Amino acid sequence: MRKYEALYVLAPNLSEEEVKANVEKFKNVVINGGGEVENIDEWGKRKLAYEIKHMNEGYYVLMNFSGNAELPKELDRVLRISDGVIRHIVVKLEK
């Protein structure tokens, strides 16, 4: 099992329930894909470095997880098609 890190930025206009639902949804993608979520760190609303889709703020979430080589591809696909996500990145951590 390899270790990965996913950082995604949710739209600032989402309600607290919608944010929690999205975080839980992405956590379940990892768990259902045979992976293990090690940590979820919600940074909260922060100012973006530059405007994205006419938004100046975003809700940042950092998720550390481990899984097989196919898991980050599936998570990337789900993040890409989710409406509330304005930016995301999934990277493999070095040993």
In this prediction, residues 54-69 reach a mean pLDDT of 95
| pLDDT bracket for residue 45 (50, 70, 90) | very high
Its pTM stands at 0.92
Tokens of 50: 């530059």
The answer, yes or no, to whether residue 95 has pLDDT greater than 90, is: no
Tokens of 38: 């090690």
Contacts of 44 (CB under 8 A, 6+ apart): 59, 60
Domains of the chain: 2-92 (3.30.70.60)
In this prediction, residues 60-88 reach a mean pLDDT of 95
- Collapsing DSSP to helix, strand or coil, 61 comes out as strand
- Cβ pair 20, 59 in contact under 8 A: no
What single-letter amino acid sits at 54? H
Closest among 44, 48, 46, 53 to 83, alpha carbons compared: 53
Average pLDDT of the chain to the nearest whole number: 95
In this prediction, residues 74-92 reach a mean pLDDT of 95
